[in-house]
Amino acid sequence: MLRELSVAHQSWPLAAPFRISRGVKHSAEVIAVEINQGGICGRGESVPYARYGETVDSVLRQIRLVAKAIEAGSSRAELAQLLPAGAARNAVDCALWDLGARLAGTSVWSMLHRAQPQALTTALTVSLDTPERMGAAAAKIASAGLIKVKVDAVAPATQIRAVRQAAPGARLIVDPNESWTIDLLRRIEPLLVELDVALVEQPLPATDDGDLEGFSSTVPICADESCHVAADLPRLQGRYQVVNIKLDKTGGLTEALSLLAAARTGGFRIMVGCMISSSLSIAPAFLVAQEAEFVDLDGPLWFKADHRGGVQSHDGVLQPVAPGFWGQAEAIARAAVSGHAS
């Protein structure tokens, strides 16, 4: 049976500006894909990212160029030959997973022989600002189990210290977003140890990965911009101890699962992250995050309003999306709701 694919750009206002070393966001610009077959609809979402040469228009164009192949029945495996890893493939891949589960009358996690996703602890992010404002922001979420601190190369020590003082009990991830040098990393490492930082995420530009050769860090270092797909792992050995799996980098759930398996085999610890996105992006990432040591899926929590049935958070404990929201056939979702109510 032929499918029908539709794709659209959506803009979601944020409740507060989201700042990192590369710039500031006031809204989330996402690409939403729907694939309909026989009255059943599968959905997926992605976030075009300028760091990887993507724009809203370029991702829309990529998807529209392969729409006929998808409508003719291309599989997820064939999709990997049609589109490179990135936002365009992510939205389509996740929509195909959702559609496949609904058509089969099952769930994506059952298809993968995994347990139904359970609540997990996500990092809550303190975005880049003055140390005083970062400390104030951290104080509001001090009861969270995990806090991610966005820093730059201008005043990282005072930024991190302000957050630690405001949230003394939380585990901390420090994320410079490629803004540091190896010399700065060496100088600041004693402070990271002093403040009990659990992880440093992508401190150097991806082009400078070689500078990490021979650097024995007390605090684990995570590859984010440096790690997109499983094929990236060999060159990361000896440089990073953790990899951050994001579906917008892998090109969807299919490659994310391959990266997860390969990273474990390669001895890497696992982080699962996201862009600033809605719960439609988070739902498939939630499956991978069940097997991660570090989880950073707070993207929708920055929204003024998310999808109905999206993820919910209390002190950083993130509940899965509602039954039937993504990746689950309607009959199973209704049964789940009924069983919960009874």
Q: Hey, what are 284's tokens?
A: 């498939």
CB atoms within 10 A of CB 120: 17
171, 252, 309, 280: which is closest to 297 by C-alpha? 280
- CA dist list (Å): 137 to 39, 146, 149: 46, 14, 10
Q: Hey, what are 244's tokens?
A: 């951050």
DSSP state of 231: G
Q: DSSP 3-state assignment of 214?
A: coil
Average pLDDT in the 155-183 region? 98
Active site residues: 150, 246
- CA dist list (Å): 308 to 30, 187, 221, 300, 311: 17, 46, 36, 12, 9
Packing angle, helices 87-104 and 253-265, rounded to 10? 100
Average pLDDT in the 107-116 region? 97
Rounded Cα gap, residues 101 and 109, in angstroms? 9
Q: How confident is the model at residue 339 (pLDDT cuts 50, 70, 90)?
A: low
Rounded Cα gap, residues 88 and 326, in angstroms? 18
Please write the tens of the pLDDT for every residue from 260-304.
999 999 999 999 999 999 999 999 999 999 999 999 999 999 999
In the prediction, which pLDDT does 184 show?
98
Compute and round to an integer the Cα radius of gyration of the chain: 20
In the prediction, which pLDDT does 21 show?
83
Q: DSSP 3-state assignment of 134?
A: helix
Q: DSSP 3-state assignment of 239?
A: coil
Q: Hey, what are 37's tokens?
A: 């077959």
Average pLDDT in the 30-39 region? 97
| Averaged pLDDT score across all residues of the chain | 96
In the prediction, which pLDDT does 337 show?
77
Rounded Cα gap, residues 173 and 18, in angstroms? 17
CB atoms within 10 A of CB 328: 24
- Asked whether 146 and 294 are in contact (CB, 8 A), the reply is yes
Please write the tens of the pLDDT for every residue from 297-327.
999 999 999 999 999 999 999 999 999 999 9
DSSP state of 70: H
Residue 193 has pLDDT above 60, yes or no: yes
Model pTM score: 0.96
328, 241, 215: which is closest to 293 by C-alpha? 241
Residue 39 has pLDDT above 80, yes or no: yes
Please write the tens of the pLDDT for every residue from 133-151.
999 999 999 999 999 999 9
Q: How confident is the model at residue 340 (pLDDT cuts 50, 70, 90)?
A: low
Least confident of 12-26, 179-193, 216-230: 12-26
Q: How confident is the model at residue 1 (pLDDT cuts 50, 70, 90)?
A: low
Q: DSSP 3-state assignment of 43?
A: strand
Please write the tens of the pLDDT for every residue from 48-100.
999 999 999 999 999 999 999 999 999 999 999 999 999 999 999 999 999 99
Residue 341 has pLDDT above 60, yes or no: no
Domains of the chain, with CATH numbers? 4-110 (3.30.390.10), 120-319 (3.20.20.120)
Rounded Cα gap, residues 93 and 68, in angstroms? 15
Q: How far is CA 38 from the centre of its chain?
A: 31
Average pLDDT in the 126-138 region? 97
Rounded Cα gap, residues 51 and 55, in angstroms? 10
Average pLDDT in the 6-30 region? 94
Rounded Cα gap, residues 21 and 4, in angstroms? 40
In the prediction, which pLDDT does 342 show?
45
Residue 204 has pLDDT above 90, yes or no: yes
φ, ψ for residue 55, nearest 5 deg: -135, 170
Average pLDDT in the 184-198 region? 98
Q: Hey, what are 278's tokens?
A: 């809605």
The residue assigned the tokens 């684990």 is: 220
% of residues, the chain, pLDDT over 90: 94
Q: Hey, what are 330's tokens?
A: 């309607």
Residue 114 has pLDDT above 70, yes or no: yes
